[in-house]
Amino acid sequence: MGDAGRDGAGAFDDARMEMAMGLLLRLGVLLAATVVMAGGAMYLADHAGSRVNYDKFVPHPITVRHPTELAQSDATAVLDLGILLLIATPIARVAFAVVAFARERDRLYVAISATVLAVLLWGMLRGG
């Protein structure tokens, strides 16, 4: 006969995992938002007088620059970084879940969360 629910230890670990993931998410968003604010301020300063027109679509893929270049580079690079950090936040959350499930020795959910992680990474790396 099966025990319908999880035992106490499993449920407790899940709760801790969720809280840690929540914290990770908030820190990630905070970091990304800070970088975006800095980049935004730089952007406004750099392009202060210019006119904007977004009704024509011209593709400009976002690229990553090396961190040491950032100090000399323009606002766009900083903003690119901020946005990448933002997207990395939920991805980090899933990676964290893979590790947490592995520690709980839950092979089924290691496989499930690893699958999700693989789709996320594929989307990021092979986006083009």
User: Footprint of another protein on residues 59-118 (CB under 8 A)?
Assistant: 59-62, 76, 79-80, 82-84, 86-87, 89-91, 93-94, 97, 106, 108-109, 112-113, 115-116
Q: How far apart are CA 55 and CA 83, in angstroms?
A: 22
Query: Could you tell me the smallest distance in angstroms from the CB atom of residue 72 to another protein?
Result: 18
127 binds another protein (CB under 8 A): yes
DSSP string over 68-94: HHHTTS-HHHHHHHHHHHHHHHHHHHH
Residue 28 Ramachandran class (φ > 0 left, ψ -120 to 50 alpha, else beta): alpha
Sequence-distant (6+) residues with CB within 8 A of 39 are: 75, 76, 77, 78, 79, 81, 82
Residue 81, class by beta-carbon neighbours within 10 Å (0-12 exposed, 13-18 middle, 19+ buried)? buried
Query: Could you tell me the smallest distance in angstroms from the CB atom of residue 83 to another protein?
Result: 6
Query: Could you tell me the smallest distance in angstroms from the CB atom of residue 29 to another protein?
Result: 5
Count of residues near another protein by CB under 8 A = 70
**Contacts to another protein by CB under 8 A:** 2, 4-6, 11, 14-15, 17-19, 21-23, 25-26, 28-29, 32-33, 36-37, 39-40, 43-44, 47-52, 54-62, 76, 79-80, 82-84, 86-87, 89-91, 93-94, 97, 106, 108-109, 112-113, 115-116, 119-120, 122-128
